Structure 1
Amino acid sequence: MSQESEHGKWAVSSSEEEDGDKPSTSLPQQTGLSKGGEPSFPCSEARKAALKRKASPLKHQDGGFPQAPKQKSPPEEQGWCLSSSEDEEDTKGQKGKGDAGAGARPKEHRPALKEQGEGTHKPLQSQESSQAPQKVQDTWDLLDGENPFRFFLTKVKGIDAKYNLGALHIKDILSPLFGTLVSSAQFNYCIDLGWLVKQYPKEFREKPLLVVHGEKGESKAELQEEKGLYDNVRLCQAKLDIAFGTHHTKMMILQYEEGLRVVIHTANLIAEDWYQKTQGVWLSPLYPRLPAGASASDGESHTMFKSDLISYLMSYKSPALVKWAETIKQYDFSETRVYLLGSTPGRYQNNDKEKWGHLRLRKLLKDHAMQIPDQDSWPVIGQFSSIGSLGDDQSKWLCSEFRDSFTSLGNGRKAPTNHDIPIHLVYPTVENVRRSLEGYPAGGSLPYSIETAKKQLWLHAYFHKWSAETSGRSRAMPHIKTYMRASPDFQKIAWFLVTSANLSKAAWGGFEKNGTQLMIRSYELGVLFLPSEFGLNSGYFQVKESMFSDEPASSFPVPYDLPPEKYEGKDRPWIWNIPYTRAPDTNGNMWVPG
């Protein structure tokens, strides 16, 4: 079916799910497809489409990617593909070369490696890496003491090596240099279990591993079947009792002989998400074990991270996660400087409303952020990889609930209700996707659907392009999700949040019963950075000019360019479930999702 609008003709796909991605067939690992052409792991519709197109590309008649973009496309080419899903992501994959990583842990927290042992690894080098050991050590030295935020991007294959300095691959995070693993828990949305196990060093691959997922029905059965290949793996199904919810949290809990570490990130546990996408990672300090006899309340941080993490785990009502909560009580989290911000499915009233979702953010900002002169002119910037149904107009959620929570600052002051505070939404254009490293299949992890977009044309007035020239990642499509409050000149930010939550009511929650009840559909998790926790009394961070510039450690490394660039007249948001056939992508291919 097609529909004409002010934005051109849309071809509407019948798919009603979310996203999908898989490795290009030119890459050296498995494609992730079964004999029937379906992904070998549970996957959303958009991801499946991307996997299919990578396995069976449709070459454009021009045969290649033009040196310069075409000046104009006729209306029928400006169509979008939309899914009705309110959340996001998936991909699967392939393994990129160059898995060598730059670790990011202060020296005082580096566990001592065993003097001798079969499993001892060279510093942050994978089997595929040819990086010299001395260069790896130099990277350790560069990061030590110079990343107080513990916020990192993931490595990207196909960009200049300098833009991967300080970036992490999953193999780096699981490296023995970060600790001698005893057991681990992996929370995620899309999981390729076989690929995940291979990311652990050989000496850790048989250690107890708990995988927390939200799969149901056939996809759950497939995951259980794959789990049968690994005696050390246990599965924990997150309860999703409210329709259209997902288990979207992306977290690792890593217990070591030397201590415990928490990793909160934005990548699915599939190869493609760690290959040519922009992802974010928060890596905790190495938490030491509390002395014998310590109480359960010892080892808390000023941010109450430990108790909030335990509350989040207990919300699953799972015996396996109760055990992990008991384990966490045994460690000292006092060095944590970030606040935990989660969502769990449910309907919340009274004080429970402020435990999760956007009301949790509102409370944190009111209680712990500082008021700033002229703060009513500071815009909110949201950057994400998927968009849900937000209502018939901006007043239904975006410029009411969402803005009221995201503009709260200090002393319980209520945000202005005059709707003058700007909102800038960063989401890739069709051209961003077409010119990306992956080409059109990168859009499998950007599952905004035609069915959703055509109901909220008003939203597109808020859109800004994806641009990350200062980090060298403009062509690595974002799967990271970030939110912040910036000064009018975009040189300062009052706070920064990296999270799994996209722009959707399913993730952040929506009011019911005249605002007396908050309903959340999905599990989400992120960390909030506030200046006061990093010794800044100004109420804001200076924005780092470049992710790699030599600036004070207190300058915050925003992972994309500021100020954001508004969509121009010819720009269209990427929509995954309609065809793009007029212009070839970087691989010379077209996009036909069906």
Structure 2
Amino acid sequence: MTQESQYGKWTLSDSDDDVVPPTPPKDLKKPNTKLDPERKTNVVHTAPKPKPKSEPSPEHKQTSEPTFKTEKISAPALGSEARQAAHFNRINPVKHENSSSPAVKRKRESEEGGWDLSSSDDEATSSTSKTNPKKPVKSPPRKKVEDKRPPSPHGASYYKEEPSDFFEANLSTMNHTYRFYLNKVTGIEKKYNTGALHIKEILSPMFGTLKESVQFNYCFDIPWMVKQYPPEFRDKPVIIVHGEKRESKARLLQQAQPYSHIRFCQAKLDIAFGTHHTKMMLLWYEEGFRVIILTSNMIQADWYQKTQGIWMSPLYPRLPEGSPETAGDSPTHFKRDLLEYLRAYRAPELSEWMERIKEHNLSETKIYLIGSTPGRFQGADMEKWGHLRLRKLLSEHTCPVQNAEEWPVIGQFSSIGSMGLDKTKWLAAEFQRTLTTQGKASSSSSPGTSMLLVYPSVDNVRTSLEGYPAGGSLPYSIQTAQRQLWLHSYFHRWKAETSGRSSAMPHIKTYMRASPDFSQLSWFLVTSANLSKAAWGALEKNNTQMMVRSYELGVLYLPTIFNMKTFPVEKNIFPVSSSSTGFPVPFDLPPQQYSGKDRPWIWNIPYTQAPDTHGNIWVPS
């Protein structure tokens, strides 16, 4: 099926295999690139007319070099190609021009109308040769932009720097019932940051006198990271756990050269195209020990105007000397599971930290750990990681509900991998079976259960605080989207009015199951895992083997640990009330389904018809 719009013309392929990647131009300067964990496709030239050949599956191919230029980037372009495009567009913006006459504008809108969200992938790629392709519209030239900002629809505070009290968290205004927090966002009303946290606060003396720390993450800006530690802790030993290899590893090591207190631990990625996507801090204090599991990369952009999630453990005290190794575990077996997760790295650099964890009392933990580690697992090991780990916990620790098929499951994420040619390949089969598990009686998928997927639309991104560059953290590619148009019928807009964060695009990832009226939750998960088989795992060999490509980590909330039957949903999560027992879902329920005009954000195609909040358009090439 051929689609033509403001995105250009592209063809749907019915094959994910045996595709030769496009060859980058010989004179292209190699940029500081990195494979995004949920988008491993080859990036073709993003002018409006890509070559009409099918693209490889994100689960099976490496990325080629992007075709946008990076010579002018003044700061390190960190992360995926989508993030690099965002950085390039920020420092080299293309202004939206309103000089077209009404007649020309109408013609352009007619020629560049929206793309159809078809549920069929059956048409052959040769269909492009049977049509008369229109001459593609060239990307507008980049013009030198005056340092003048257009009026912001988000108010005068949008362009302001953080006020002096921005980093001063007040513990009395924080709700520690669930220990789930959002990050602070620059440019929104102050009340929507109450009870939220910035990385500077997490690392501050407010939570302990830091002695050493470990930073697990996918993406690092080391000079920026060091500055987030308060001066009195800035030279304390830090281990960085990463998944970099070859040139990108060399660049990371080079970043750390000025900092003698930083050491490295390289995560083993034994299965092709996996990534180290876990985001966790281990903090050792004079007063005890703490674990932070979050969704933010260790870069400034992730802590500025995006919505992120944070779980902060209690301060774990030291056990009495001579306590057995099994002492200090919680009813959720968090200590056991955290040690098993760290053991999976097979890294001597973490052995001392594992011993420290054994010496502390983690019994106050009220969440379950959901991790993914690379490997092929059989037998009982299949249920240790990925979505089968989630299925096992939902089976053992939730109770069946009446009319369970009427309780929808909701997934919210910032990146999407290849789901296959139809929903039965993975999403509506093994993954939906996991998400709909409710007690031991749940033995098969519930086809009648609604699955609502929350992912920002183009208009969500365009009208966000950051404008189009926010889409650099939403790396859904055209090569993946064109193979799974059936998926788009599941999509719902990002809408977070009750939290005051509709304009702060999500990098958080959450999964949950809600009552039919969306007033109750039977469980809630915040995690680093996006919607992909690489992150969650996929069954192989007639369901006798589980294959996982990446490291991921999240925390699962189940009502029974909190002496509840279900979690009540907090209707207005800001300003925070320290006594509330409602669960602070970070977006509005019920989710709002895409309208007929909505399209999912796709990062590597141009958007030129309407300006964003900065008056710019998006030209990734």
What TM-score do the two structures reach when normalised by structure 1?
A: 0.83
Residue 39 of structure 1: CA displacement? 5.0
Query: Relative to structure 1, is the Cα distance of residues 128 and 47 closer, same or farther in structure 2, using a 3 angstrom cutoff?
Result: closer
Give the whole-Å Cα distance in 1 for the aligned partners of 2:494 and 2:244.
31
Give the whole-Å Cα distance in 1 for the aligned partners of 2:227 and 2:579.
38
Q: Which of the numbers 36, 40, 43 marks the counterpart of 1:18?
A: 36
Does residue 561 in structure 1 map to residue 549 in structure 2? no
What residue number does 1:191 align with? 220
Q: Which amino acid aligns with 2:509?
A: K
Does residue 57 in structure 1 map to residue 93 in structure 2? yes
What residue number does 1:270 align with? 299
Q: Which of the numbers 568, 580, 583 marks the counterpart of 2:610?
A: 583
Query: Relative to structure 1, is the Cα distance of residues 148 and 505 closer, same or farther in structure 2, using a 3 angstrom cutoff?
Result: same
Residue 62 of structure 1: CA displacement? 3.0
Q: Spell out the pairing of 1:173-572 with structure 2 (5 A cutoff).
A: 173-410=202-439, 412-536=440-564, 538=565, 540-548=566-574, 553-572=580-599
Give the whole-Å Cα distance in 2 for the aligned partners of 1:350 and 1:6.
49
Residue 43 of structure 1: CA displacement? 2.0
Residue 147 of structure 1: CA displacement? 2.7
Q: Which amino acid aligns with 1:140?
A: L
Q: Spell out the pairing of 1:33-72 with structure 2 (5 A cutoff).
A: 37=73, 40=76, 42-62=78-98
Residue 161 of structure 1: CA displacement? 0.6
**Gaps in structure 1 of 5+ consecutive residues:** 21-32, 64-69, 81-126
What residue number does 1:102 align with? none
What residue number does 1:130 align with? 164
Query: Relative to structure 1, is the Cα distance of residues 420 and 294 closer, same or farther in structure 2, using a 3 angstrom cutoff?
Result: same
**Contact 1:357 1:508 (C-alpha < 8 Å) held by counterparts:** yes
Residue 225 of structure 1: CA displacement? 1.2
What residue number does 2:148 align with? none
Count of aligned pairs between the two proteins: 520
Give the whole-Å Cα distance in 2 for the aligned partners of 1:435 and 1:526.
30
**Contact 2:6 2:112 (C-alpha < 8 Å) held by counterparts:** no
- The worse-fitting range, judged by mean Cα deviation, of 51-60 and 542-551 is 542-551
Give the whole-Å Cα distance in 2 for the aligned partners of 1:179 and 1:551.
21
Give the whole-Å Cα distance in 2 for the aligned partners of 1:439 and 1:19.
23
Cα deviations across residues 199-219 of structure 1 (Å, max 9, x unaligned)?
Answer: 000111111100001111111
Query: Relative to structure 1, is the Cα distance of residues 6 and 56 closer, same or farther in structure 2, using a 3 angstrom cutoff?
Result: closer
Give the whole-Å Cα distance in 2 for the aligned partners of 1:350 and 1:441.
45
Q: Which has more radius of gyration?
A: 2
**Contact 2:172 2:578 (C-alpha < 8 Å) held by counterparts:** no
Cα deviations across residues 32-73 of structure 1 (Å, max 9, x unaligned)?
Answer: x9975275264210010000000111111139xxxxxx9x95
Residue 574 of structure 1: CA displacement? 0.1
Residue 328 of structure 1: CA displacement? 0.6
Give the whole-Å Cα distance in 2 for the aligned partners of 1:5 and 1:402.
32
Query: Relative to structure 1, is the Cα distance of residues 155 and 75 closer, same or farther in structure 2, using a 3 angstrom cutoff?
Result: farther
Give the whole-Å Cα distance in 1 for the aligned partners of 2:260 and 2:353.
19
Cα deviations across residues 523-581 of structure 1 (Å, max 9, x unaligned)?
Answer: 00000001111121x2x111111112659622111000000000111100000000001
What residue number does 1:107 align with? none
Q: Which amino acid aligns with 2:261?
A: N
Residue 409 of structure 1: CA displacement? 1.3
**Contact 2:476 2:601 (C-alpha < 8 Å) held by counterparts:** yes
Cα deviations across residues 208-239 of structure 1 (Å, max 9, x unaligned)?
Answer: 10000111111100111112211100011111
- The worse-fitting range, judged by mean Cα deviation, of 226-235 and 41-50 is 41-50
**Contact 2:35 2:80 (C-alpha < 8 Å) held by counterparts:** yes
Q: Which of the numbers 158, 164, 189 marks the counterpart of 2:187?
A: 158
Cα deviations across residues 309-357 of structure 1 (Å, max 9, x unaligned)?
Answer: 0000010000011221111101000000000000000000000000000
SS at match of 1:527: strand
**Contact 1:342 1:356 (C-alpha < 8 Å) held by counterparts:** yes
Cα deviations across residues 166-200 of structure 1 (Å, max 9, x unaligned)?
Answer: 11000000001110001000000010011000000
Query: Relative to structure 1, is the Cα distance of residues 256 and 568 closer, same or farther in structure 2, using a 3 angstrom cutoff?
Result: same
Identical positions, percent: 57
Give the whole-Å Cα distance in 2 for the aligned partners of 1:73 and 1:210.
53
**Contact 2:4 2:10 (C-alpha < 8 Å) held by counterparts:** no
Give the whole-Å Cα distance in 2 for the aligned partners of 1:440 and 1:74.
23
Give the whole-Å Cα distance in 1 for the aligned partners of 2:115 and 2:352.
50
Q: Which amino acid aligns with 1:358?
A: H
Give the whole-Å Cα distance in 1 for the aligned partners of 2:227 and 2:4.
48
Q: Which amino acid aligns with 2:79?
A: C
What TM-score do the two structures reach when normalised by structure 2?
A: 0.80
Cα deviations across residues 280-316 of structure 1 (Å, max 9, x unaligned)?
Answer: 0000000001111111110000000011000000100
What residue number does 2:61 align with? none
SS at match of 2:453: strand
**Contact 1:301 1:333 (C-alpha < 8 Å) held by counterparts:** yes
Give the whole-Å Cα distance in 2 for the aligned partners of 1:356 and 1:498.
15
Query: Relative to structure 1, is the Cα distance of residues 451 and 461 closer, same or farther in structure 2, using a 3 angstrom cutoff?
Result: same
